[in-house]
Amino acid sequence: MLNFSNTIRKASLLGALSTTLILTACGSNDEEVSQWDEIQEEGTLTVATSGTLFPTSFYSDETEELTGFEVKIAREVAARLDLDIEFTEMGFDGMLTSINNDQVDFAVNDIDISESREEDFLFSDPYKFSYGSMVVREGDYSGIETMEDLEGKRAGGAATTIYTQIAEGYGAEAVTYDNVTNDTYLLDVENGRTDVILNDYYLQTMAVEALPEIAVTVHPELFYRPNNQGIIMKKENTELQENINSVIQEMLEDGTITELSEQFFAGQDVSKEPDIDFAVEE
């Protein structure tokens, strides 16, 4: 059994996320090989992740090893493709840059599949379905009763996340952080440095539950923007995408992803789409 309460203190709310051919010249005869061919030849998938985003990518207190919902999914993907795996830890912006610079093959870090990102990157089929929530102060909910009440509030988050963009879209002032831990985020809401944190419902509920001494709560009525997450990779890597999707579907059908979800999300199955009413659908 993982010690979530201790581990989550060291984790972050924000990390805050096949197969078309990339053709390259190979040797003197100009023989063309794909990115997938290169991966198979090297025998290793290189993966970017934060290592601080509980419960999807973090270090276990017991084993001191990198683990988490998506870390385990990535390891299983590699195993089913008969490949080794190598993780590199970095912030979210660095992940996207590393993908485009061919420094990693893909990234996993609770990264939303969005239309804007799909213009520049490929995603696997989704394996996590979620929605947005708000961490606010206990008692008065930071004075927020509707989405419109975000105007003029100070919203903690990472600079380029979708949740920060949503907050700013409603007139909030963004207070940005770079890969800090949960207690920093939550304490800043409690002490008034910020008023609210917009982020994934599952991540936020687990963070608040693990740090009960901090006087914050998840707003009980304001849920918004149903979304889903998957593996993100370079736009040209369709052959890699096809191979990953093949094993993701196997893992969904044989219950592997449900089992991992229940392990890391306190018995909840995040591979199923939620059935709730949303204040905002997008």
Contact 109, 232 (CB under 8 A): no
**How much is the pLDDT for 12?**
60
Averaged pLDDT for residues 68-97: 96
> What's the rounded mean pLDDT across residues 182-202?
95
Residue 275 — pLDDT band, cuts 50, 70, 90?
A: confident
pLDDT tier for residue 10 given thresholds of 50, 70 and 90: low
Question: What domains are defined for the chain?
Answer: 4-128+229-264 (3.40.190.10), 130-225 (3.40.190.10)
pLDDT of residue 161: 83
Q: What is the mean pLDDT of residues 76-101?
A: 95
pLDDT at residue 4 in the model: 52
Mean pLDDT of the chain: 88
Instruction: Give the β-pairing of 84-89 and 44-49.
Output: parallel
What pLDDT sits at residue 282?
A: 62
Angle, helix 69-80 to helix 238-253, in steps of 10 degrees: 110
pLDDT attached to residue 158: 83
The pLDDT of residue 17 is 38
The pTM for the full model equals: 0.75
Is 281's pLDDT higher than 80? Answer: no
Tokens for 172?
């909030």
- pLDDT 10s digits, 96-125: 999 999 999 999 999 999 999 999 999 999
Torsion over CA of 49, 53, 58 and 60, rounded to 10 degrees?
-170
